Amino acid sequence: MYNFTFHRPTTVRQAAGLLAKNPDAKLLAGGHSLIPVMKQRLAQPSALIDLAKVEGLHGVELKGRSVVVGAMTTHSDVANSPIMQQALPGLAAVPAAIGDPQVRHMGTIGGSIANNDPNADYPAACLGLGATIITNKRKIAADDFFTGMFSTALEDGEIITKVSFPIAKKAAYEKFKHPASGFALVGVFVSKRGPEIRVAVTGAGANGVFRVKSFEEALKRRFAAKSLEGMTIPATGMNSDIHASAEYRAHLVGVLARRAVAKATA
């Protein structure tokens, strides 16, 4: 690890000010992806701005027909939130499946989606529920937020403060864990909210999280696993590596989508 300056602001405004003054700075929001990379000397931020003590970024609350999660809420707190478990159990299951207990007690939702790791779980949940990402500057629809592998619509100096999830009557996540890293080799989040059906896939795509329109169309006719019977997606555009071929990932998208729908309708 190279040397860096450590800042611990207590308000979003202070954090934004520090970010403006330190163009090479990185926000620290749990750090379970950032710190390992720094330890390997693959990242060299001049400063870290730790959001852990910033007020108003923690907690899960019910607001109208949405569940709003503070950006610095840990995976463990989301998974164990009674509000979340009641309103959106399918979403509570997502952070419960992330990493190990250490990661779940340090990692945060804001950190996860800002990083947009192509194998991370939360991007599928955000896209699969049509969440809104709220920053210190604006509100961004999930459909516009995830712009590619490790890339988001966030601008310089922009800090995620909250993520708002509309409550869907039916929602579920199915994850096939990468055997080594525990990330999603493939993860599929499905939801049905009124007429709106979403199927979002993480882990599989070479360009990060994506929706499967053909599956969504099929599910619009009837939201049941059977509607997806025999359906698959093309292997082109899927990741291929030593752990899984593109064909296998494409195949898993179909399998997991069916299982997620079955779980959501159980």
Partner 1 sequence: MSATGIGAPVRRKEDLRFITGKGQYTDDVVRPGETRAVFVRSPHARARIKSIDVSAAMSMPGVIAVLTGAELANDKIGNLICGWMIHSKDGSPMKMAPHPALATGTVNHVGDAVAVVVAETKGQARDAADQVKVDYEPLPAVADPAKAQEHGAQQIHEVAPNNTIYQWHLGDAKATDAAFASAKHVTRLDIVNNRLVPNAIEPRAALAEYDAGADHLTLWNTSQNPHVARLVIAAFVGMAPEHKLRVIAPDVGGGFGSKIFIYPEEVICLWAARKVGRPVKWTAERSESFLTDAHGRDHVTHAELALDGEGKILALRVKTIANLGAYMSTFSSSIPTYLYGTLLSGQYNIPQIYCEVDAVYTNTVPVDAYRGAGRPEATFVVERLVEVAAREMGIDPPELRKRNFIKSFPHQTPVIMNYDAGDYQASLRKAMELADVKGFGRRKREAARHGKLRGIGYSTYIEACGIAPSQAVGSLGAGVGLWESAEVRVNPTGTVEVLTGSHAHGQGHETTFAQLVSERLGIPFENVSIVHGDTDKVQFGMGTYGSRSGAVGMSAIVKALDKIEAKAKKVAAHMMEAAENDIEFKDGKFTVAGTDKSAAWGDVALNAYIAHKFSGQELEPGLKETSFYDPTNFTFPAGCHICEVEVDADTGNTEIVNWTAVDDFGTVINPMIVEGQVHGGIAQGVGQALLEGAVYDKDGQLVSGSFMDYSMPRAHNLPSFTIGLTETKSPSNPLGIKGCGEAGAIAAPAAVINAITDAIGSEQVLMPATASTVWAALERANVARQAAE
Q: Is 28 exposed, middle or buried (0-12, 13-18, 19+ CB in 10 A)?
A: buried
CB of 100 to partner 1, least distance (A): 9
Structure tokens at 124: 């599928």
* Rounded-to-integer distance, Cα 246 and Cα 236, Å: 7
Q: Smaller CB distance to partner 1: residue 37 or 134? A: 37
Q: Smaller CB distance to partner 1: residue 68 or 225? A: 225
Q: Smaller CB distance to partner 1: residue 136 or 245? A: 245
CB of 94 to partner 1, least distance (A): 19
Contact 73, 34 (CB under 8 A): no
Q: Smaller CB distance to partner 1: residue 64 or 179? A: 179
* Rounded-to-integer distance, Cα 120 and Cα 203, Å: 7
Secondary structure (DSSP) of 18-52: HHHH-TT-EEESS-TTHHHHHHTTS---SEEEE-T
CB of 188 to partner 1, least distance (A): 12
Q: Smaller CB distance to partner 1: residue 245 or 265? A: 245
Closest CA to 264 of 236, 228, 233: 228
Name 14's bridge partners.
Answer: none
Q: Smaller CB distance to partner 1: residue 244 or 264? A: 244
- Provide the binding-site residues for partner 1, judged by CB under 8 A: 2, 40-41, 176, 179-181, 242-245, 247-248, 251-252, 255
Q: Smaller CB distance to partner 1: residue 6 or 220? A: 6
